[in-house]
Structures are given as C-alpha cells and as structure tokens.
C-alpha cells in the first residue's frame, strides 16, 4: 500500500497554514493597490508562492509505502511411529520413510512460506528436532493415538496450514472409530505396502446393558486381508465356558458378524470372543477380543402355578400384579381330574394347561417359578421337574414352593428330582401328619433376623416390633429340617420333630440359582387380617418384594458389592478394586473383614485383602495383572463370625499393547479423514500439493514496516521561499 500524508499536520498547523496563505493573498492584494495590473498580479503571485513554500516546509508532505514479507504458516508432517506400521511382509514404515526421503527437498522448498515441523504420535504430540533422523527403528510405539495427535497438533500450532500424515490409519485409543472433527486440512499419504495375510477382530459393538435371560446381540467387525475368502468360526466364552459358536463367512475387507447370547446372572460380566486361526495368517494375536457388559434385570418374569384357588394365591397375585417391575404369568388349576363338570367346553372359560409349552419351551424365559400348593402329578410328567432343577442349577432361575394340602410331601415331591433343589428335607413324616392344622406364631432364627428378606424397617427395634405384631399363621406343611445348603429363616416353635422346631421359611442356593420353601399357605394373613386391624400393610409387600429380589440375585440385596474397574485394563497394569459393605441393617459396615481372590483365565490366583478407607468403603490396591484375559474376583465380607455377604465380578484385561490388534492400511479411514477435514489423500501427486501450498503462501503477506519519503524536505525549498520573499520586497521597492 502506498499514499501521501502530512507529517507536520495537526489541526492547529493546518489552520495556521490556511490562515497564512489567506493572509498572504490578502496582503498581496492590499499592499499592491495602485500598481499597474501586470505588476500587481506578479507581486501577488510571488508572495503567494513564497507563503505556499513556507507552508509546505511546515506541513512536511510525505509519500509512504508499506513494507511486506511472506507470512510463514506452520505446516506439520505427522509420522505414525506405532509398531503396527512395521508389521507385515512389506511394512508401511518403509513406504513412509521412502516418502519422507523423496519429498525432503519438496518440503524444504516450502520453507520460505511454511514452518515445516515433524511430529510423531502422542498426546501431546512430540515434535522432532529438525536435525533428527527418523529410521525404521523409530516405529516402535505401542499404541496409536491418532485422533489425539491430530487434535494436539492443531491446538498447539495456531494458524497451521495443513497436516501431511503418514499413517496406516489404525487408531486404537479412541473408542470412536470415526475420524476426529478437525478443521485443518489433513493430507494422508497413500502409503504402499502393509499387505498382511490376516484375519482379525476389528471391533466389537456391545449393547450399553444386557438384560438377564434376554438374548443380547453383540456385533463383531472382522477384518480379512490377503487371504482367500472363506469360513471360520467365531466363539464367545465366559471364562472357560463356551457360550456360543457361529460360523462366519469372510471376504476381503471388513465383515460384520453377530453373536447372540443370554446372560444368566446380573452384574458386570466379562466375555471373550475368539476367531479360529485361518491357515497362513501372519498373526493370531489379533484373533481375540474381550468386552464386558453390565447385566441387569428389566422386569422380573414370574411363573406362578397354583394347584387350587386359595387366598394365599389370590393375595400373592394381587401383590405381584400391583408391582410394575413384575411380569406375572399365572396358571391356576380351576378344575382337577376329580371334579365333575358335565357341561360342554363351549360353556366353560377353562383353557388347557400348556405344560409342555411352559416347562419345555418357555421355562428359560422366566426369572422365577413359584409352585403354590401345586401337585405336579396329574398335570406334568416327572421330567418337567428335572427341567425345573436345570432351570435353577444351570440357568440361575429362582424357584419357590409354597405350602398347602397339595404341596411338599402332599404334592408327591418326596423322592423326586426336585428335592435336589428344595432347601428342606421332606422325608420322615408319619402318614396323615404331612399337614399340621391350627394357628401358630412363627419365630425368626438368627439368620432370619439378619436376612434382608425380613428387614422391613431400618430401625432394628421397629423391625422386631413389626415381626412381633404379625398375626398368627395357620397350617404348616411337614418337613424334617433344612437340606444341605438350606438356611432356615423362620420356624414354628410349637411344632417339634427330632431335629427341633419345624422349619417354616427356608432358603437355599443351588448351582447358579436360588430356591425358597414357604411351608405354609397362610402368609396372606400378613395382608388382610393384619392390615385391616391396623397393621403395617407394607410388611406383606416388602416380604414378597424382597423374597423375589433375593431369588433373582438382585445385587442391591447383597450386603457386599464389588465395584467394577472404571478404566480399560491392560496386561502389566496394577489394579485397584473397591468394595462397599453394608451390615444387616443395610448401614455402612465399619470394621468388617473383606477378603477375596482374583483368578486369571489360566487359573492363576491372587489373594486379596481389602483395607477400610471409610466406614463401609474398602479398597485393595496394587493388584498385579500379569497376563491378559478374563479375570474373576470373588470376595467375602465378614464381621466377627457372621458372613455379611459375598460378591463376584468379572472384567477383561487386554494385551499390554493394542498394536498387533489392527494391522494393514485402513484406506477407508484415511479417505474419511481427508474428506472430513477438507484435505485429500496424496497418491503420488505431492508436487501438486506443494505447488498449491506455494501459491497460497505467496498470498499470505504480512506488513512488517513503512517507507516514508519527503520530497520537499530539503534546504532548496526553504531557500526558494526566502528568495521569493526577498524578490517580493525588492520588486515592491522598485515599483513604488
């Protein structure tokens, strides 16, 4: 930019200058009166010119010109120095080094316009010194934080003109597989090579949560490169247990497969996917992947089967129907084979009892099965009882048997398979004494007093009062005692057998599941007779709600809870595990002894001792994770001799380095990255880029100074002005 300015200009100066000019012209007119016109004009002109020259000398008119220079913008060359670049027969690292060598001069030629810097991967990305040499040994980084590097470079170099990127595109830190949102043009170099013969698990998409006993779908992205399309098997394991195996058809590129499985227990569960190795593949390291999913309960699906309509069943149905978290399916036997109803089917509302459907096909869809005074004999063959046993032991289902004149021994269950999971022994009763009539007041055992099923009020004293205020029950089924694994929570002190008071409410754990025996059909008395007389009707509600939740392994019902590790764990990391412990009143348990065991996939184990950080908060630190795989933690909390609770947790530990997991050039990622950022993939046309960069650089000028010239700032002007004044004075004297 060029222009004129007055260096001596100010408002006063300009005003004075004009005043002086005006005065000169005016004085020229007045002082030349009487002179002939020719002389007069000459005198005015001389005086005006003299004054003008004086004004110029004072105002200092000057011509200025901007001085500019090229503004150098940052330009980054990012080199992916991760180990995956050096893998394969014809590694990409060689191509990257080759590119750097070939384009060294091209990049140098950009120096007038650009401050070219080299970076490697990192967060923040490290800049390579100009003189540093980068060779094949440099490709050793054990992760590829590609997104973090690009964003870090953009952030640390404001005004950066672009990023030339030498990478395989194998991001393995960010969870998002999409390229980052970056507003700087990125120019990935289309490297050659990187050809691998490999099958690998590219990624696993899991649902945010899975629901117990509900099919959960896991989508697996499987890569195939350099091998013939074909089939391989994909297997899903929980620990060493194979859950699902499926054949997947693979073709070159990324393939999608899905695995469907039904989690059986709630909690944080870890799983492993394994792809069978394909002959000829370069690496089987990347054929497995691990993930963990939180398994929760949606609705508790309960199957209630009752041998006859009773008040116990009626009030239980009302309770479950009023609970929005329970999906209740009921089958009531309204007519037995002994009942006579000689009317056509069309006049009855009875439906067939779909035993086969329920006990063979649909059993696994329920969370709990309740037999309420139900005698199986007339309706279902004995193998259905075996299905119930399997449902509990293997599927983790809950089973409860409620008393009555068709239940326990009276239901013909003695000697059947079901006794394997019943928490009471049925044998030993004399004929006719299988059901004891009459009112009785039950008593809680020590275990019952502390069990969450009977915690109806946080205040132990109030809880005891509630229990004592309950009305008498009526009628009890015979049982001998708790069976192996059974725990008596309540008993009838008025009915004794050779082992002591008869058990009334007994619970047990069998395999994966839990069972409950309620040896009376009169618990409904905790509802109508109790509540109508002013008792707390929440007792009946809470008893059944808690019982169902306990049967379902509801983690919130457990007094010990292990908290899942929050970050992704890798082989060699130190693990910190936290546990929360409550006492029988569900208050933070101070002074508890929390111990446990960490078991790795290969059976290696590590004893855990938790220390108390705060009341009820326990922690075990610096637990070594020596190998990758699924780890399982089992912990127990004790206070004195009493076991407060047990919990278990599973989590995956990945390999120390994720690098071998993903190999080869991800062209699709690079294309997406270039397009999203406004750049393009360079495929041997670097010169075009360099030329465009140079042209852009030319336009990028900055003003660094100003050149000012005063053409009249010299003694000649002043001398001329003085001479003119002298001439004016002389001529006036001459003409007068």
Partner 1 sequence: MPSTSREGAAMDRPITRRQFLFSMGYGALAFAGMGGREEPVQSRPYFQWAQLRYPGAWDPSPNGVSRFMAELRKRTSIEAGVRKIEVEAGDESLFNLPFLCIAGRGDFPDPGEQAALWLRRFVEHGGFVLFDDATGIENSGFARGVEKWLEKAFPGETLKPLPADHTVYQSFYLLTGAPGRKIVRPVLTGIERENLTPVIFTHNDLAGAWDGDPLGGYANPCIPGGERQRELAIRLGVNLAMYALTGNYKKDQVHIPFILKRRKR
Binding site for partner 1 (CB under 8 A): 307-311, 313-315, 317-318, 321, 329-353, 355, 375-381, 404-406, 410, 412, 431-432, 434-435, 437, 475, 521, 524-525, 527-529, 531-533, 537
Least distance (Å) between residue 446 CB and partner 1: 31
Smallest CA-to-CA distance from 253 within 292, 181, 187, 202 is with 202
Least distance (Å) between residue 441 CB and partner 1: 15
Name every residue whose Cβ is closer than 8 Å to that of residue 435 and which is 6 or more positions away in sequence. 403, 404, 405, 410, 475, 476, 477, 478
Phi-psi region of 210 (alpha: psi -120 to 50; beta: other; left: phi over 0): beta
Least distance (Å) between residue 431 CB and partner 1: 7
DSSP symbol at 364 = G
Least distance (Å) between residue 326 CB and partner 1: 13
Rounded to whole angstroms, the Cα distance separating 606 from 236 reads 26
Least distance (Å) between residue 632 CB and partner 1: 40
Is 501 within 8 Å of 493 (Cβ atoms)?
Answer: yes
Identity of the residue, 481 or 525, whose beta carbon is nearer to partner 1 in the bound complex: 525
Identity of the residue, 355 or 573, whose beta carbon is nearer to partner 1 in the bound complex: 355
Identity of the residue, 132 or 342, whose beta carbon is nearer to partner 1 in the bound complex: 342
Identity of the residue, 246 or 336, whose beta carbon is nearer to partner 1 in the bound complex: 336
Identity of the residue, 527 or 662, whose beta carbon is nearer to partner 1 in the bound complex: 527
Identity of the residue, 317 or 732, whose beta carbon is nearer to partner 1 in the bound complex: 317
Least distance (Å) between residue 448 CB and partner 1: 25
DSSP symbol at 472 = P
Rounded to whole angstroms, the Cα distance separating 718 from 720 reads 5
Q: 476: which 2 tokens? A: 């009890």
Rounded to whole angstroms, the Cα distance separating 703 from 2 reads 12
The residue with tokens 């394997």 is 420
Identity of the residue, 351 or 641, whose beta carbon is nearer to partner 1 in the bound complex: 351
Q: 168: which 2 tokens? A: 């395989």
287: helix, coil or strand? helix
Identity of the residue, 474 or 686, whose beta carbon is nearer to partner 1 in the bound complex: 474
Q: 254: which 2 tokens? A: 């990324």
User: How do beta strands 73-79 and 162-166 pair?
Assistant: parallel
Smallest CA-to-CA distance from 411 within 359, 319, 477 is with 477
A 10 A CB-CB count for 626 gives 13
Name every residue whose Cβ is closer than 8 Å to that of residue 316 and which is 6 or more positions away in sequence. 304, 370, 372, 402, 523, 524, 544
Q: 295: which 2 tokens? A: 């398994």
Name every residue whose Cβ is closer than 8 Å to that of residue 360 and which is 6 or more positions away in sequence. 384, 387
Identity of the residue, 435 or 653, whose beta carbon is nearer to partner 1 in the bound complex: 435
Identity of the residue, 33 or 338, whose beta carbon is nearer to partner 1 in the bound complex: 338
Q: What angle do CA 463, 466, 472 make, to 5 degrees?
A: 135
Identity of the residue, 310 or 479, whose beta carbon is nearer to partner 1 in the bound complex: 310
Least distance (Å) between residue 538 CB and partner 1: 12
Identity of the residue, 521 or 542, whose beta carbon is nearer to partner 1 in the bound complex: 521
DSSP symbol at 80 = -
Least distance (Å) between residue 349 CB and partner 1: 4
Least distance (Å) between residue 429 CB and partner 1: 10
Least distance (Å) between residue 510 CB and partner 1: 24
Smallest CA-to-CA distance from 483 within 413, 384, 542, 431 is with 413
Name every residue whose Cβ is closer than 8 Å to that of residue 350 and which is 6 or more positions away in sequence. 334, 335
Q: Which H or E element spans position 187?
A: strand 186-188
Rounded to whole angstroms, the Cα distance separating 78 from 149 reads 8
Identity of the residue, 353 or 712, whose beta carbon is nearer to partner 1 in the bound complex: 353
DSSP symbol at 683 = S
The residue with tokens 């309509």 is 309
DSSP string, 128-156: EPTT----GGG--BS---HHHHHHHHHHH
Least distance (Å) between residue 603 CB and partner 1: 46
Task: Provide the edge-to-edge strand list for the sheet that holds 569-570.
Answer: 569-570, 642-654, 629-639, 593-599, 605-609
Rounded to whole angstroms, the Cα distance separating 42 from 554 reads 117
Exposure b/e, 502-517, CB count within 10 A at least 16 = b: bbbbbbbbbbebbbbb
Name every residue whose Cβ is closer than 8 Å to that of residue 447 and which is 6 or more positions away in sequence. 487, 488, 489
Least distance (Å) between residue 334 CB and partner 1: 6
The residue with tokens 């950009």 is 110
Least distance (Å) between residue 549 CB and partner 1: 23
Identity of the residue, 308 or 657, whose beta carbon is nearer to partner 1 in the bound complex: 308
Rounded to whole angstroms, the Cα distance separating 317 from 72 reads 80
Identity of the residue, 378 or 624, whose beta carbon is nearer to partner 1 in the bound complex: 378
Least distance (Å) between residue 306 CB and partner 1: 9
Identity of the residue, 43 or 332, whose beta carbon is nearer to partner 1 in the bound complex: 332
Least distance (Å) between residue 548 CB and partner 1: 19
Least distance (Å) between residue 281 CB and partner 1: 52
Identity of the residue, 368 or 674, whose beta carbon is nearer to partner 1 in the bound complex: 368
Least distance (Å) between residue 410 CB and partner 1: 6
User: How do beta strands 473-477 and 424-425 pair?
Assistant: unpaired
Q: 20: which 2 tokens? A: 């002086």
Least distance (Å) between residue 422 CB and partner 1: 17
Identity of the residue, 172 or 310, whose beta carbon is nearer to partner 1 in the bound complex: 310
Name every residue whose Cβ is closer than 8 Å to that of residue 321 and which is 6 or more positions away in sequence. 328
Is 508 within 8 Å of 399 (Cβ atoms)?
Answer: no
């Amino acid at each position: 930019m060029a222009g004129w300015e007055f260096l001596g200009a100010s408002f006063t100066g300009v005003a004075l200058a004009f005043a002086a000019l005006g005065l000169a012209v005016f004085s020229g007119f007045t002082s030349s009166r009487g002179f002939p016109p020719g002389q007069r004009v000459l005198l005015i002109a001389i005086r005006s010119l003299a004054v003008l020259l004086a004004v110029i000398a004072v105002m200092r008119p000057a011509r200025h010109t901007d001085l500019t220079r090229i503004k150098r913008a940052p330009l980054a060359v990012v080199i992916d120095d991760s180990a995956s670049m050096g893998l394969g027969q014809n590694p990409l690292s060689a191509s990257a080094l080759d590119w750097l060598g070939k384009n060294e001069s091209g990049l140098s030629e950009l120096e007038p316009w650009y401050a070219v810097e080299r970076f490697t991967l990192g967060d923040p990305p490290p800049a390579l010194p100009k003189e540093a040499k980068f060779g094949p040994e440099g490709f050793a980084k054990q992760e590829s934080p590609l997104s973090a590097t690009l964003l870090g470079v953009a952030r640390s170099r404001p005004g950066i003109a672009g990023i030339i990127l030498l990478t395989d595109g194998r991001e393995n830190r960010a969870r998002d597989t999409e390229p980052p949102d970056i507003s700087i043009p990125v120019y990935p170099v289309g490297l050659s090579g990187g050809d691998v013969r490999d099958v690998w698990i590219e990624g696993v998409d899991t649902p945010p949560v899975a629901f117990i006993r509900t099919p959960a779908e896991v989508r697996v992205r499987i890569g195939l490169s350099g091998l013939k399309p074909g089939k391989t098997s994909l297997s899903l394991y929980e620990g060493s247990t194979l859950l699902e195996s499926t054949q997947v058809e693979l073709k070159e590129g990324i393939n999608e497969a899905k695995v469907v499985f039904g989690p059986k227990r709630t909690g944080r569960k870890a799983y492993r996917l394994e792809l069978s190795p394909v002959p000829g593949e370069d690496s089987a390291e990347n054929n497995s992947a691990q993930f963990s999913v939180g398994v929760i309960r949606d609705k508790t699906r309960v199957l209630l089967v009752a041998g006859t309509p009773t008040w116990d069943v009626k009030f239980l149905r009302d309770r479950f129907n009023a609970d929005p978290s329970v999906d209740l399916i009921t089958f009531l036997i309204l007519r037995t084979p002994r009942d006579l109803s000689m009317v056509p089917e069309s006049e009855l509302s009875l439906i067939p009892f779909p035993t086969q459907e329920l006990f063979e096909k649909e059993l696994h869809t329920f969370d709990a099965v309740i037999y309420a005074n139900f005698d199986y004999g007339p309706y279902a063959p004995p193998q259905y009882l075996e299905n119930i046993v399997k449902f509990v032991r293997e599927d983790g289902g809950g089973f409860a048997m409620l008393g009555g004149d068709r239940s326990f021994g009276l239901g013909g269950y003695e000697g059947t398979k079901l006794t394997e999971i019943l928490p009471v022994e049925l044998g030993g009763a004399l004929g006719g004494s299988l059901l004891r009539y009459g009112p009785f007041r039950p008593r809680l055992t020590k275990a019952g007093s502390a069990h969450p099923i009977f915690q109806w009020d946080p205040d132990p004293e109030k809880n005891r009062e509630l229990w004592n205020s309950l009305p008498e029950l009526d009628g009890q089924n015979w049982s001998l005692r708790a069976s192996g694994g059974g725990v008596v929570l309540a008993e009838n002190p008025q009915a004794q057998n050779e082992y002591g008071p008869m058990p009334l409410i007994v619970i047990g754990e069998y395999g994966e599941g839990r069972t409950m025996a309620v040896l009376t059909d009169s618990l409904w008395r905790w509802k109508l007779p109790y509540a109508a007389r002013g008792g707390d009707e929440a007792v009946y509600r809470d008893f059944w709600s808690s019982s169902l939740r306990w049967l379902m392994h509801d983690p919130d019902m457990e007094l010990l809870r292990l908290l899942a590790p929050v970050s992704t764990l890798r082989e060699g990391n130190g693990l910190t595990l936290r546990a929360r412990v409550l006492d029988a009143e569900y208050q933070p348990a101070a002074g508890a002894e929390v111990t446990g065991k960490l078991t790795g996939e290969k059976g290696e184990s590590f004893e855990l001792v938790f220390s108390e950080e705060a009341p009820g908060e326990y922690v075990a630190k610096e637990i070594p994770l020596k190998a990758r795989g699924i780890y399982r933690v089992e912990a127990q909390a004790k206070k004195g001799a009493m076991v407060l609770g047990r919990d278990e947790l599973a989590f995956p530990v990945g390999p120390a380095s994720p690098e071998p997991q993903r190999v080869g050039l991800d062209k699709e990622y690079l294309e997406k990255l270039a397009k999203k950022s406004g750049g393009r993939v360079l495929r041997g046309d670097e010169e075009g880029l360099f030329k465009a960069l140079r042209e852009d650089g030319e336009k990028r000028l900055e003003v660094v100074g100003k050149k000012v010239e005063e053409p009249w700032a010299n003694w000649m002007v002043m001398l001329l002005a003085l001479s003119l004044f002298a001439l004016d004075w002389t001529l006036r004297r001459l003409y007068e």
